[in-house]
Amino acid sequence: MGKFSILMNCYNCQNDVKKAIESVFSQTYQNWEIIFIDNCSTDKSFEIAQSFGEKVKIYQTPKLIPLGEARNFGLKYCDGEFLAFLDTDDIWLPKKLELQNSIFQNKPDVKLIYGGAIWIDEVDNKIGELIPKFSNDYFKQNLLRYEINMQSVAIRNDGKIQFRDSHQFSPDFDLFMKIISNSKTEIIPNAIVKYRKLGNSLTSKKISRWWIETKETLDDIFHNQDLSQKYKNEKKIAYAKVGYYKAQFLISENRLKEARAELNKYKDISKTYKLLYFASFSKTLWQIIHKFK
């Protein structure tokens, strides 16, 4: 019966953190600890976490630091056999850890497990979901369409897990893609978490970092020539997504000509990229297309 170290990173999260922690205490599998990292919050987050008692181990960063660095700060205190992650505005469903522990115990070669997520709004209403499908190649599957929700992940802890310190938008993408590129992965093909999608979330604030960090991860992975050759077609599609992220940033800066030049590289990959290319001639058209995508 392996212990889960659950890493929770917090910065001014007093509005939702109580629900998040309660969802861990409601798990049907109870061999766990919460490693709660308070990244210099100025609200009541620390006091709320402290009220849950000794199963929530609280550590404070000496100063406000980027998300990747804050996650690594927390990993130093995670000594469980398995690692799991819960952001403070999200919620686990009750059997999340039980299901993942069962897979780890029955399949000792599995390194990473992820599952489906229900998307919720500010008041917990369901607004969508993403449910992964079984595959004989999860790396390939995620190159084509990234489907790993961080809150659903559990990793077998070998003491060497590290996020990329400099990444603010996608330290999880960087870590998980590198793991599944060379390690056994399993999924749970139904929802095991509720993921809160907010208009002012990290992804909305860090648009200038999307393409840079995604490209850095892909560059690292495909430095391996065997992977580069084996996934030649999927690699093209993954880098097209980098171009799309870059175009989004350029259009947000009203640099439409540069965005169009970027998308021109990928317009022959699919009808979608051809449509995006033509949409980049007008910021209004670009916004309309994204409203109805």
Q: How far apart are CA 19 and CA 122, in angstroms?
A: 12
CA distances from 128 to 96, 125, 132 (A): 19, 9, 14
Q: How far apart are CA 152 and CA 83, in angstroms?
A: 11
Share of the chain above pLDDT 70, in %: 97
Residues 233 and 180 in one domain: no
pLDDT in tens, 189-221: 999 999 998 765 444 456 788 999 999 999 999
Per-residue burial over 105-142, b if 16 or more Cβ lie within 10 Å, else e, is eeeeebbbbbbbbbbbeeeeeeeeebebeeeeebbebb
Q: Kindly tell me if the per-residue pLDDT of 40 is higher than 70.
A: yes
Residues 91 and 221 in one domain: no
Give the residue numbers spanning the domain of 149: 4-198
CA distances from 120 to 1, 46, 127, 148, 176 (A): 32, 25, 5, 17, 23
State residue 203's pLDDT score: 45
Of the residues 198, 215, 250, the one at which a domain ends:
198
Which of 19-33, 175-189, 276-290 is predicted with the least confidence, judged by mean pLDDT? Answer: 276-290
Residues 222 and 173 in one domain: no
Residues 77 and 147 in one domain: yes
Please state the rounded mean pLDDT for residues 179-188. 98
State residue 290's pLDDT score: 87
State residue 67's pLDDT score: 86
Residues 172 and 215 in one domain: no
> Is the CB of residue 191 less than 8 Å from the CB of residue 115?
yes
> Is the CB of residue 46 less than 8 Å from the CB of residue 34?
no
Residues 15 and 158 in one domain: yes
> Is the CB of residue 260 less than 8 Å from the CB of residue 266?
no
Residues 237 and 119 in one domain: no
Q: 249 — phi, psi (to 5°)? A: -65, -45
Q: Which one, of 70, 84, 69, 67, lies nearest residue 33 by Cα?
A: 84
Q: Kindly tell me if the per-residue pLDDT of 62 is higher than 80.
A: yes
Residues 72 and 180 in one domain: yes
CATH number of the domain within which 164 lies? 3.90.550.10
Confidence of residue 293 (pLDDT cuts 50, 70, 90): low
Residues 131 and 24 in one domain: yes
Residues 165 and 26 in one domain: yes
Residues 232 and 164 in one domain: no
The token duo for 211 is 């393409």
Of the residues 198, 229, 244, the one at which a domain ends:
198
Residues 28 and 42 in one domain: yes
Which of 121-130, 174-183, 193-202 is predicted with the least confidence, judged by mean pLDDT? Answer: 193-202
SS3 at position 131: coil
Q: Kindly tell me if the per-residue pLDDT of 16 is higher than 80.
A: yes
Pairing type for strands 82-85 and 56-60 reads unpaired
State residue 202's pLDDT score: 43
State residue 264's pLDDT score: 97
Rg (CA), the chain: 20
Q: Which one, of 109, 93, 119, lies nearest residue 188 by Cα?
A: 93
Q: What is the 3-state secondary structure (H, E, C) of 137-193?
A: CHHHHHHHCCCCCHHHCEEECCCCCCCCCCCCCCHHHHHHHHHHCCCEEEEEEEEEE
pLDDT in tens, 225-257: 999 999 999 999 999 999 999 999 999 999 999
Please state the rounded mean pLDDT for residues 9-23. 95
Q: In total, how many domains does the chain have?
A: 2
* pLDDT, averaged across the chain: 94
Whole-structure pTM over 0.95, yes or no? no
Confidence of residue 168 (pLDDT cuts 50, 70, 90): confident
State residue 205's pLDDT score: 52
Share of the chain above pLDDT 90, in %: 88
Of the residues 144, 175, 198, the one at which a domain ends:
198
HSE, side-chain direction, 13 A CA sphere, residue 12 = 4
- State how far Cα 230 lies from the chain centre: 25
Please state the rounded mean pLDDT for residues 87-116. 97
State residue 201's pLDDT score: 47
Please state the rounded mean pLDDT for residues 116-128. 95
State residue 204's pLDDT score: 44
Query: Hunting for tokens 């992220």 — which residue is that?
Result: 245
